[in-house]
């Protein structure tokens, strides 16, 4: 009897754990499933993670510059994030003589730390469900636009009346596709200084080749420090500011991880779309991703051919190339993962079950009976508009620099004679200065001509300009935007300020410029023939998806749903777990420094290494950070787990059962990137830098061991 009961309890436990693991999830920190987390091994409580009334782990987590995540790891406001999150700041302080990207940077005391204009760190003070207030007065009779207007004005009113301190901010966001609303009180620190960064050969080791893949060997971290005014409150940069005293900072554990260990990741995931109908997943695999990938294939091939041949081009285009290839590689992995996990079929089965349940209740049947059918119809209508949208975005706006400049100039011409003109002009001068700094006219012309060919070929003809597109190499030769023709006596790529000095000259030159004219026609066709219909369909889809979400919450009341990511603070949890790609043997969950050395290619642009690290590996002196002793000592580098993460989770801490930092999240495995649309525990893994590697690099490689004195190391 006893045995049977135990067996039952165990198997029930197993079912609930595997269900959780199966589903992934990015949970609102005020609504954690504490018992499930404890079953999986967590020793702390949900209140230790999030408590608005007493110090808790959330007080150590900051949104970094509004994009990545970062965490406080000392009593003096020391802030840890990824190298690729601090990249812009590291780059901005770099010069030819002091190339911090190449050689790394380490402040040896507070006075050497470098201020970063515009960089912020935002903490979450409190989270509150305000759904009732926001949706009060919303009625079923409203059309989508009326509803949006109504909700918007409710949000404004409620935000204005929130009781908070003067130095705090408030925002309200929709969750569950607009079925719920949450209010966030935040504190944003504005003086965040660079403390340290390893050389790129460590911080971005493996670059694009290793990006989105496992096994991985990257020390993707950098260090900053938050400064506050003398009352410890947010303040603009000032020499008189002092290191911030956090309510809580994360202790760092060097006890190490092993397969099966409980971990959770706490951060700011950006965007996911986990509740799409099967047809949308199918379109993603068959048309949407192939279109985006096809466009970027062409751009990347042209860029990489020239980058390989010419060092100057490589330097100019390295970060643009990385940006374009990052999403390109992600989409390829996503399609592979969706296919391999039969996501469409699973979603269809889910819809069948949904309809079956809906049919059991008359009131469900009348409200939700046609949902799947309506969604299918709308997605079918939307497909050609979606494709046109993607081509405009990818081929005209994102991947051709010259076309993007032409779009800006069109915008400027449209503001001619209005009060906005001068302000807009100044903003464009600033962004063009940056753009032209790393611009190669011939290379971008080659990319742009290839992209416009694709545009002509693949955008449905009814969406193209009436008199066709006439862009060829002479359009580029005869344009001021490429710098090949002068404007106001100078080449725009050499002196934007002077080129734009005289409004009359500027306007008449732009109006007569062949590229501005051609792109203007493409834009006009897009604005007349694509975007109004596309926006209308998107609005209808938003409404249907909101109802579908509401229906799922009711119909599957036995299932726990997490809201899609929306750049707000979330907790995801999982276990340290290896991974088996289709055609390869299973990979262990941990990589080591000997694997870094195995990938080493002297002088290579992705796999070169600092000599010092090679020597350090040989000596096997890993101090307190390594695993094993003497000859058998190993230095852990990266590890993976089944935490459900996405873009924005970069820089998020991975914490252990006791709430200590054990890793720094920075990436996902390739096919696992489908987790933005469909999470599958057998494939989806997040990738983290092992905390021990971070400390080892700071202490032994950089000689900045003084920083460890302010941390709390758990041995
Ligand atoms: N794939 C990761 C993310 O989406 C890391 C990107 C940075 N690294 C790179 N080689 N591009 O952001
Ligand atoms: N690398 C991503 C980031 O920068 C994280 C991810 O997409 O897994 O946020």
Judge whether residue 437 has pLDDT over 70.
Answer: yes
Cis previous bond, 215, omega within 30: yes
Average pLDDT over residues 404-408: 98
Within this chain, do residues 385 and 443 fall inside the same structural domain, yes or no?
yes
What per-residue confidence (pLDDT) applies to 17? 41
Which residues on neighbouring strands pair with residue 590, listed in sequence order? 639
The answer to whether the beta carbons of residues 634 and 693 sit under 8 Å apart is no
Q: How far apart are CA 546 and CA 348, in angstroms?
A: 19
Judge whether 641 lies within some domain: no
Ligand 2 contacts CB of residue 572 (under 6 A):
no
Instruction: Pull the structure tokens for residue 648.
Output: 């924005």
Confidence of residue 23 (pLDDT cuts 50, 70, 90): low
In a 10 Å sphere around its CB, with 0-12 CB exposed, 13-18 middle and 19+ buried, how is residue 559 labelled?
Answer: exposed
Q: Which residue in 675, 688, 587 sits closest to 637, CA to CA?
A: 688
Torsion of CA 35, 41, 45, 46, to 10 degrees: -60
Ligand 1 contacts CB of residue 211 (under 6 A):
yes
| Helical packing angle, 311-340 and 343-358, nearest 10° | 40
Judge whether residue 16 has pLDDT over 50.
Answer: no
Within this chain, do residues 299 and 203 fall inside the same structural domain, yes or no?
no
Instruction: Pull the structure tokens for residue 383.
Output: 């497909």
* Model confidence, pTM: 0.94
Confidence of residue 151 (pLDDT cuts 50, 70, 90): very high
Confidence of residue 128 (pLDDT cuts 50, 70, 90): very high
Ligand 1 contacts CB of residue 84 (under 6 A):
yes
Q: Give the whole-number percent of the chain exceeding pLDDT 70.
A: 97
Q: How far apart are CA 519 and CA 402, in angstroms?
A: 10
Q: How far apart are CA 672 and CA 93, in angstroms?
A: 35
Distance 649 CA to ligand 2 centre (A): 6
Confidence of residue 7 (pLDDT cuts 50, 70, 90): very low
Ligand nearest to the CA of 218: 1
Q: Which atom of ligand 1 is nearest to the CA of 210?
A: 10
Q: How far apart are CA 20 and CA 7, in angstroms?
A: 20
Three-state SS for 268-336 is: CCCECCCCCCHHHHHHHHHHHHHHHHHHHHHHHHHHHHHHHHCHHHHHHHHHHHHHHHHHHHHHHHHHH
What per-residue confidence (pLDDT) applies to 269? 98
What per-residue confidence (pLDDT) applies to 629? 87
Number of other residues whose CB lies within 10 A of the CB of residue 653? 30
The residue whose CA is least distant from atom 5 of ligand 2 is 647
Burial 172-206 (b: 16+ CB within 10 A, else e): bebbbbbbbbbbbbbbebbbbbbbbbbbbbbbbbb
Within this chain, do residues 300 and 217 fall inside the same structural domain, yes or no?
no
Average pLDDT over residues 29-55: 97
> Considering 210, 232, 250, which residue would you say is the last residue of a domain?
250
Within this chain, do residues 359 and 312 fall inside the same structural domain, yes or no?
yes
Q: Residue 69: which residues within 8 A CB-CB, separation 6 or more?
A: 61, 62, 63, 81, 266, 267, 268, 648, 649, 650, 651, 652, 653, 665
Confidence of residue 2 (pLDDT cuts 50, 70, 90): very low
Average pLDDT over residues 104-133: 97
Which residues on neighbouring strands pair with residue 574, listed in sequence order? 263
What per-residue confidence (pLDDT) applies to 313? 85
- Give tens-digit pLDDT for 179-196: 999 999 999 999 999 999
Quickly list H helices, 50-109: 83-92, 100-103
The active-site residue, picked from 400, 448, 650, 675, is 650
Judge whether 83 lies within some domain: yes
Q: 375 lies in which domain range?
A: 278-534
What per-residue confidence (pLDDT) applies to 97? 86
Q: Residue 132: which residues within 8 A CB-CB, separation 6 or more?
A: none
What per-residue confidence (pLDDT) applies to 595? 97
Within this chain, do residues 340 and 220 fall inside the same structural domain, yes or no?
no
Lowest model confidence (mean pLDDT) among 19-28, 240-249, 618-627: 19-28
644 assigned to active site? no
Decide the pairing of beta strands 252-253 and 713-714: parallel
Judge whether residue 480 has pLDDT over 60.
Answer: yes
Confidence of residue 22 (pLDDT cuts 50, 70, 90): low
> Chain-wide mean pLDDT for the chain?
94
Instruction: Pull the structure tokens for residue 510.
Output: 């732009």
Burial 523-545 (b: 16+ CB within 10 A, else e): bebbeebbbebbeebbebbebbb
Q: Which long-range contacts (CB under 8 A, 24 or more apart) does 524-528 make?
A: 524/465, 525/463, 525/464, 525/465, 525/466, 526/388, 526/392, 526/463
Decide the pairing of beta strands 78-81 and 180-189: unpaired
Number of domains present in the structure of the chain: 2
Within this chain, do residues 228 and 348 fall inside the same structural domain, yes or no?
no
Judge whether 715 lies within some domain: no
The answer to whether the beta carbons of residues 124 and 186 sit under 8 Å apart is yes
Q: How far apart are CA 43 and CA 50, in angstroms?
A: 15
Which residues on neighbouring strands pair with residue 68, listed in sequence order? 64
Query: Which residue in this structure is represented by tokens 């994102």?
Result: 398
- Give tens-digit pLDDT for 491-508: 999 999 999 999 999 999
Instruction: Pull the structure tokens for residue 475.
Output: 């359009």
Judge whether 654 lies within some domain: no
Ligand 1 contacts CB of residue 82 (under 6 A):
no
- Give tens-digit pLDDT for 301-342: 999 999 988 888 888 888 899 999 999 999 999 999 999 999
Judge whether 614 lies within some domain: no
93 assigned to active site? no
What per-residue confidence (pLDDT) applies to 199? 97
Query: Which residue in this structure is represented by tokens 């002793």?
Result: 629
Q: Which atom of ligand 2 is nearest to the CA of 648?
A: 9
Q: How far apart are CA 308 and CA 321, in angstroms?
A: 12
Q: How far apart are CA 320 and CA 303, in angstroms?
A: 10
Q: Which atom of ligand 2 is nearest to the CA of 665?
A: 5
Q: Which atom of ligand 2 is nearest to the CA of 651?
A: 9
Distance 114 CA to ligand 2 centre (A): 25
Judge whether 367 lies within some domain: yes
Q: Which residue in 129, 101, 167 sits closest to 29, CA to CA?
A: 129
- Give tens-digit pLDDT for 532-584: 999 999 999 999 999 999 999 999 999 999 999 999 999 999 999 999 887 78
Q: How far apart are CA 552 and CA 116, in angstroms?
A: 45
Ligand 2 contacts CB of residue 646 (under 6 A):
yes
The answer to whether the beta carbons of residues 78 and 214 sit under 8 Å apart is no
Q: How far apart are CA 69 and CA 60, in angstroms?
A: 11
- Give tens-digit pLDDT for 621-642: 899 999 998 889 999 999 999 9
Q: Residue 31: which residues within 8 A CB-CB, separation 6 or more?
A: none
The active-site residue, picked from 210, 220, 282, 444, is 220
Within this chain, do residues 331 and 398 fall inside the same structural domain, yes or no?
yes
Q: Is 478 helix (H, G, I), strand (E, B) or coil?
A: coil
| Helical packing angle, 401-414 and 503-511, nearest 10° | 120
Three-state SS for 132-169 is: HHHHCCCCCCCCHHHHHHHHHHHHHHHHHCCCCCCCEE
Q: How far apart are CA 154 and CA 173, in angstroms?
A: 12
84 assigned to active site? yes
Confidence of residue 94 (pLDDT cuts 50, 70, 90): confident
Distance 569 CA to ligand 1 centre (A): 21
Confidence of residue 141 (pLDDT cuts 50, 70, 90): confident
Q: Is 596 helix (H, G, I), strand (E, B) or coil?
A: helix
Q: Which atom of ligand 2 is nearest to the CA of 82?
A: 4
In a 10 Å sphere around its CB, with 0-12 CB exposed, 13-18 middle and 19+ buried, how is residue 494 labelled?
Answer: exposed
- Give tens-digit pLDDT for 378-402: 999 999 999 999 999 999 999 999 9
Within this chain, do residues 371 and 290 fall inside the same structural domain, yes or no?
yes
Instruction: Pull the structure tokens for residue 88.
Output: 């812009």
- Give tens-digit pLDDT for 671-695: 999 999 999 999 999 999 999 999 9
Judge whether 307 lies within some domain: yes
Within this chain, do residues 286 and 358 fall inside the same structural domain, yes or no?
yes
Q: Which residue in 663, 666, 713, 708 sits closest to 690, CA to CA?
A: 663
Within this chain, do residues 364 and 484 fall inside the same structural domain, yes or no?
yes
What per-residue confidence (pLDDT) applies to 144? 84
Within this chain, do residues 520 and 373 fall inside the same structural domain, yes or no?
yes
Distance 82 CA to ligand 2 centre (A): 10
Judge whether residue 19 has pLDDT over 70.
Answer: no
Q: How far apart are CA 540 and CA 112, in angstroms?
A: 55
Average pLDDT over residues 658-670: 98
Within this chain, do residues 289 and 235 fall inside the same structural domain, yes or no?
no
Number of other residues whose CB lies within 10 A of the CB of residue 508? 12
Distance 326 CA to ligand 1 centre (A): 6
The residue whose CA is least distant from atom 2 of ligand 1 is 667
Q: How far apart are CA 702 and CA 711, in angstroms?
A: 16
Ligand nearest to the CA of 68: 2
Instruction: Pull the structure tokens for residue 664.
Output: 């720094």
Distance 673 CA to ligand 2 centre (A): 9
Judge whether 139 lies within some domain: yes
């Amino acid at each position: 009897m006893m045995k049977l009961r135990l067996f039952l309890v165990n198997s029930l436990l197993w079912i609930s754990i595997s269900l959780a693991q199966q589903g992934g999830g990015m949970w609102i920190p005020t609504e954690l499933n504490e018992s499930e987390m404890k079953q999986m091994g967590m020793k702390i409580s949900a209140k230790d993670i999030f408590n608005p009334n007493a110090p808790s782990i959330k007080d150590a987590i900051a949104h970094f510059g509004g994009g990545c995540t970062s965490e406080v790891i000392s009593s003096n406001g020391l802030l840890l994030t990824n190298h690729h999150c601090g990249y812009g700041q590291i780059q901005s302080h770099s010069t030819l003589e002091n190339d911090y990207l190449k050689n790394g940077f380490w402040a040896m005391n507070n006075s050497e730390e470098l201020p970063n204009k515009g960089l912020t760190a935002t903490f979450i003070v409190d989270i509150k469900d305000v759904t009732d207030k926001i949706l009060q007065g919303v009625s079923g009779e409203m059309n989508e636009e009326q509803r949006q207007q109504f909700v918007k004005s409710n949000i404004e009113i409620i935000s204005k009346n929130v009781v908070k301190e003067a130095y705090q901010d408030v925002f309200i966001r929709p969750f569950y596709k607009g079925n719920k609303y949450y209010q966030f009180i935040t504190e944003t620190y504005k003086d965040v200084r660079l403390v340290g960064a390893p050389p790129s050969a460590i911080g971005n080791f493996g670059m694009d080749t290793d990006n989105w893949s496992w096994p991985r060997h990257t020390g993707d971290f950098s260090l900053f420090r938050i400064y506050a005014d003398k009352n410890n409150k947010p303040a603009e940069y000032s020499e008189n500011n002092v290191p911030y005293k956090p309510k809580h900072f994360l202790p760092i554990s060097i006890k190490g991880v092993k397969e099966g260990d409980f971990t959770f990741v706490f951060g700011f995931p950006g965007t996911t779309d986990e509740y799409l109908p099967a047809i949308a997943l199918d379109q993603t695999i068959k048309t949407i991703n192939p279109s985006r990938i096809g466009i970027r294939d062409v751009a990347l091939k042209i860029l990489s051919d020239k980058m390989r041949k010419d060092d100057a081009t490589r330097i100019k285009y390295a970060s643009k190339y990385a940006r374009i290839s990052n999403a390109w590689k992600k989409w390829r992995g996503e399609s592979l993962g969706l296919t391999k996990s039969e996501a469409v079929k699973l979603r269809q089965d889910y819809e069948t079950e949904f309809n079956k349940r809906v049919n059991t209740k008359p009131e469900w049947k009348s409200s939700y009976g046609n949902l799947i059918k309506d969604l299918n119809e709308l997605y079918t209508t939307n497909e050609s508009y979606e494709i046109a949208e993607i081509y405009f975005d990818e081929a005209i706006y994102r991947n051709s620099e010259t076309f993007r400049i032409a779009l800006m100039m069109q915008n400027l011409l449209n503001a001619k004679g209005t009060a906005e003109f001068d302000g807009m002009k100044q903003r464009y001068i600033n962004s063009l200065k940056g753009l032209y700094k790393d611009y190669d006219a011939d290379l971008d012309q080659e990319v742009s001509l290839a992209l416009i060919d694709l545009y002509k070929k693949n955008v449905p003809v009814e969406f193209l300009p009436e008199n066709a597109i006439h862009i060829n190499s002479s359009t580029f030769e005869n344009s001021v935007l490429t710098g090949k023709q002068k404007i106001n006596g100078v080449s725009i790529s050499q002196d934007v300020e002077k080129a734009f000095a005289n409004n009359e000259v500027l306007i008449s030159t732009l109006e007569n410029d062949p590229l501005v004219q051609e792109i203007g026609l493409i834009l006009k066709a897009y604005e007349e023939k694509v975007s109004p219909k596309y926006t209308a369909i998107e609005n209808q889809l938003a409404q249907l998806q909101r109802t579908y979400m509401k229906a799922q919450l009711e119909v599957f009341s036995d299932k726990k749903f997490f809201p899609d990511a929306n750049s707000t603070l979330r907790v995801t949890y999982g276990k340290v777990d290896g991974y088996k790609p289709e055609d390869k043997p299973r990979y262990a969950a941990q990589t080591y420094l000997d694997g870094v050395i195995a990938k080493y290619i002297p002088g290579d642009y992705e796999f070169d290494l600092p000599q010092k690290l090679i020597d350090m590996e040989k000596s096997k002196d890993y101090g307190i950070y390594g695993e094993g002793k003497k000859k058998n000592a190993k230095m852990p580098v990266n590890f993976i787990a089944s935490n459900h993460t996405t873009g924005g989770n970069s820089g998020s801490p991975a914490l252990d059962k006791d709430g200590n930092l054990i890793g720094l999240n920075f990436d996902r495995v390739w096919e696992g990137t489908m987790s933005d649309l469909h999470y599958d525990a057998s494939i989806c893994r997040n990738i983290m830098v092992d905390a021990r590697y971070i400390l080892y690099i700071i202490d032994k490689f950089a000689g900045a061991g003084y920083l460890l004195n302010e941390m709390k190391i758990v041995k």
